[in-house]
A and B are shown apart, each in its own frame.
Chain A
Amino acid sequence: MPGADKETELSERIEAFLSELKRCGSGAGSLRGSAETARETTSLLRRITAQARWSNAGDLMEIIRKEGRRMTAGQPSETTVGNMVRRVLKIIREEYARSRGSTEEADQQESLHKLLTSGGSSEDNFRQHFTHLKANVIEAINELLTELEGTTDNISMQALEHIHSNEVIMTIGRSRTVEAFLKDAARKRKFHVIVAECAPFCQGHEMATSLSKEDIETTVIPDAAIFAVMSRVNKVIIGTQTVLANGGLRAVNGTHTLALAAKHHSTPLIVCAPMFKLSPQWDSALQELVLRSFCFLLPGEILSKVNAHCPVFDYVPPELITLFISNIGGNAPSYIYRLMSELYHPEDHEL
Chain B
Amino acid sequence: DTPLVIGPSRSSAEKRKQSRPRKAEKDEEEQPLQAVLVADSFNRRFFPISKDQPRALLPLANVSMIDYTLEFLTSTGVQETFVFCCWMSSKIKEHLQKSKWCRPTSPNVVHVITSDLYRSLGDVLRDVDAKALVRSDFLLVYGDVVSNIDVSQALQEHKQRRKMEKNVSVMTMIFKESPPGHKTRCEDDDIIVAMDGKSKRILHYQRAQALKKLHFPMNIFHSGSDEFEIRFDLLDCHISICSPQVAELFTDNFDYQTKNDFVRGLLVNEEILGNQIHMHVTKDGYGARVSNLLMYDTVSSDMIRRWIYPITPEANFADQEGQSCTHSRHNVYREPGVSLGHGSQMEENVLIGRNTVIGANCTISNTVIGANCVIGDNVTLDRAYIWNRVHIANDVKVKQSVICDNVEVKHGVVLNEQCVLAYNVVVGPDITLQEGTVLSMHHPDEEDDEDEDEFLSDDDVGYSKDKTKQKGSCSSYLIMCTKQSAHSVQLFQNEVHGTLQRGLDENISCDNLVLEINSLKYAYNISLKEVMQILIRVVLEFPFQQQGAQISTAQYSSHLLPLLKKWAPVFKNYVKRPQDQMDCLASMEEVFLERETHWAALVKVLMSVYQLEILEEEGIMRWFKQSSTTAKSQQLRRNQGLLKFIQWLEEAEESSEGDE
Q: Tell me the A residues contacting B by CB distance below 8 Å.
A: 5, 8, 11-12, 15-16, 19, 22-23, 26-29, 73, 76, 285-287, 289-293, 296-301, 303-304, 307
Contacts and interface: CB of A to CB of B under 8 A. Distances in A.
Given A26-B309, A28-B148, 6 more contacts: A8-B11, A12-B105, A28-B75, A293-B283, A297-B179, A307-B331
Contact of A291 (B178, B309, B315, B317): B309
Contacts of A19: 105, 107
B104 A27 contact: no
Contacts of A286: 327
Nearest to A27: B310
Nearest to A288: B327
Contacts of A26: 309-310, 315
B348 interface: yes
12 contacts: A5-B11, A19-B105, A19-B107, A22-B317, A28-B75, A73-B316, A285-B326, A298-B179, A300-B181, A300-B184, A307-B305, A307-B331
B329 interface: yes
Contacts of B103: 15
Contact of B301 (A23, A299, A304): A304
Contacts of B301: 304
B573 interface: no
B198 interface: no
Interface residues on B, range: 35 or more
B564 to A, nearest CB: 41
A23 B306 CA distance: 16
Contacts of B185: 300
A23 B75 contact: yes
Contacts of A291: 305-307, 309
B546 interface: no
A15 B105 CA distance: 6
Contacts of B348: 307
A12 B329 CA distance: 36
B361 to A, nearest CB: 24
Contacts of A5: 11
Given A22-B315, A287-B329, A300 B305 contact: no
Contacts of A301: 181
B596 interface: no
A16 B105 contact: yes
Contact of B182 (A29, A289, A292, A299): A299
A293 B286 contact: yes
B630 interface: no
B1 interface: no
Interface string B156-195: 0000000000000000000001110111110000000000
B12 interface: yes
Given A290-B309, A291-B306, A303 B182 contact: yes
A298 B494 CA distance: 57
B328 interface: yes
B104 A296 contact: no
Contact of A12 (B104, B309, B324): B104
Contacts of A307: 305, 330-331, 348-349
Contacts of A27: 310
A286 B306 CA distance: 15
B459 interface: no
A299 B178 CA distance: 9
A292 B305 contact: no
Contacts of A28: 75, 148, 150, 310
Most chain A CB within a 10 A radius of its CB, from B104, B182, B283, B348: B182
A95 to B, nearest CB: 31
B18 interface: no
A293 B307 CA distance: 7
B17 to A, nearest CB: 16
A202 to B, nearest CB: 15
B99 to A, nearest CB: 13
